[in-house]
Amino acid sequence: MEKPTLISLYSGCGGSALGFQNAGFEITYMNDNNADACYTLRENFEKPSANPDRQVVQRGNVKDIFEFGSADIIEGGFPCQGFSLAGPRKVDDKRNLLYHYLKRAITFANPKFFVAENVKGFVTIGEKGRQGFFKKGKIANLGSVASAIVKELESTGAGYNVKYELLDAKDYGLPQDRQRIFIVGVRKDLEYEFEFPKPTHGPGLKPYVTMKDYGVKDIHSLETEVFRDGKSHGRDYFGARYMSRNRLRKWNDVSFTIPADAGQVAADPDSKTMWAKEIEWWFEMCLKEVKDHEWPEFRKNNENKINPNLRRMSWRQGAAIQGFPKDYKFSGDLKSIYRQIGNAVPPPMMQQVAECIKPYFEGKESSFPMKKEKITA
The strand pairing partners of 224, in sequence order, are none
> Among residues 339, 348, 370, 368, which one has the least CA distance to residue 356?
368
β pairing state of 179-187 and 160-168: antiparallel
Contact indicator for 156, 103 with CB cutoff of 8 Å: yes
Residue of 233, 235, 259 whose CA lies nearest to 247: 259
Query: Which residue intervals of the chain are DSSP H helices?
Result: 15-22, 35-45, 99-109, 121-124, 144-154, 240-243, 281-289, 295-301, 315-322, 334-343, 347-361
Strand 179-187 versus strand 113-119 pairing type: antiparallel
Instruction: State the amino acid at position 218 in one-letter form.
Output: D
By the 8 A CB rule, do 41 and 14 touch? yes
Closest among 119, 109, 43, 46 to 79, alpha carbons compared: 119
Instruction: Please tell me the number of Cα atoms within 13 Å of 119 on its side-chain side.
Output: 20
Q: State the DSSP string of 85-140.
A: TTS---TT-GGGGTHHHHHHHHHHH--SEEEEEEETHHHH--STT---EEETTEEE
Residues present in the chain in total: 377
Q: DSSP code of 148? A: H
Question: How many other C-beta atoms can be found within 10 angstroms of the C-beta atom of residue 22?
Answer: 16
Catalytic residues: 80
Q: CA 200 → CA 165, 172, 204, 205, 254, distances in Å?
A: 16, 5, 9, 6, 15
* φ and ψ of 362, to 5 deg: -105, 10
Name the burial class of residue 14, with classes exposed (0-12), middle (13-18) and buried (19+) by CB atoms within 10 angstroms of its CB: buried
